[in-house]
Amino acid sequence: MPIKVVTDSCSDITQEEAKKLGIAVVPAYLRFGNEVYRDGVDIDFDQFYNKLATSSIHPSTAAPSPGDFAKVYEEMAKETNEIVSIHVTSKHSAVCDSALVGKELAEKKGSKIEVIDSRGLTMWQGLVAIVAAQAAKTGCSLQQVVDKAYETINQLRALAVLDTLRYAVKGGRLGKTLFAIESKLNVKPLITIRDGEVRPAGITRTRAKGIDRLREFIASSDIDDLAIVHSTTPDDAKTLADYARSLFPNIAPRISRLGPALGVHGGPGTLVTIVKSAK
């Protein structure tokens, strides 16, 4: 029986890609006051970013419950008894912990489930899930799929430019001191992922210079795969993808949108590049 791959909505995999590869996406939860939404299910991207910019209430997020995971695992167990479940970094989310509890519930019914901390977020996590699903489709064993996932994690690097740290600070992901510096100097922050943690990676005077840094990041990489994620600026994402294709004509950059679960912290104007090295 084929191995199945599960991830959560923090992966920002497009619906088309998930459907093509048979990846099940378990939605995180988003709360605006008393209103609760399933990420990617009950609220679309434009509605979310408009609400984020205009609401007096800053939203919070919550991991899928163990029961949510167990339900998906049990549904997949109708087709396979081997599942690989790949999730957002445990350094910033409780999703992995919830998946592990869901695994215990489902394994009592005979499934074999491997839960993997991607040590990243957005399409970093998405690329790991995609590689795992591709390996599963070629007939790899469970251990081979798991090995491919960890190999991919070690090949990934990321750099992002934000319009502001306001949303990351409100969401508790970064300290207020950084926001105070950004506001005073009127600069655009850069962030990266190291050891599963989101960390500052510098500042630029303007957004245009920040995008130049993303271009330099792409140009300096030996790229096997590339994902570009935007929250509200599709034209910027397309321009970066065109630039990458001019340097690496053999790759097809993936463009996706930063979903509500992470958009809460990145906010409008976020632009992310994730590269998978060829080695």
Residue-wise pLDDT tens digits, 205-217: 899 999 999 999 9
Beta strands 82-87 and 35-38: pairing type? unpaired
3-state secondary structure of 253: coil
205, burial (CB in 10 Å: exposed 0-12, middle 13-18, buried 19+): exposed
**Rounded CA separation 64/87 (Å):** 11
What separation in angstroms does the CA of 183 have from each of 41, 55, 214, 249, 264? Answer: 34, 21, 22, 39, 19
Q: According to the model, what pLDDT value does residue 35 have? A: 93
Q: According to the model, what pLDDT value does residue 111 have? A: 83
For the chain, the structural domain boundaries read 4-154, 156-277
Could you tell me the pTM of the whole model?
A: 0.93
Locus of tokens 């210079």: 209
pLDDT along the chain (279 residues), means of 10: 94 96 97 93 93 90 96 93 96 96 89 96 98 96 97 98 81 51 68 92 93 97 96 98 97 97 94 93
3-state secondary structure of 117: strand
> Within 10 A of 246 (CB to CB), how many other CB atoms are there?
9
Phi, psi torsion values for 151, nearest 5 degrees: -60, -45
What are 116-161's pLDDT values in tens digits?
999 999 999 999 999 999 999 999 999 999 999 999 999 999 999 9
Through-space distance between the first and last CA atoms of the chain, rounded to whole angstroms: 31
Q: According to the model, what pLDDT value does residue 179 have? A: 47
The topology under which CATH files domain 156-277 is Hypothetical Protein Tm841; Chain: A;domain 3 (3.30.1180)
Q: Which residues contact 46 (CB under 8 A, 6 or more apart)?
A: none
**Rounded CA separation 268/112 (Å):** 40
Give strand ranges (E) for the chain: 4-8, 23-26, 29-32, 35-38, 60-62, 82-87, 112-117, 156-161, 188-194, 197-204, 223-230, 254-257, 271-277
> Within 10 A of 94 (CB to CB), how many other CB atoms are there?
15
Maximum CA pair distance of the chain?
58
3-state secondary structure of 38: strand
CATH code for 4-154?
3.40.50.10170
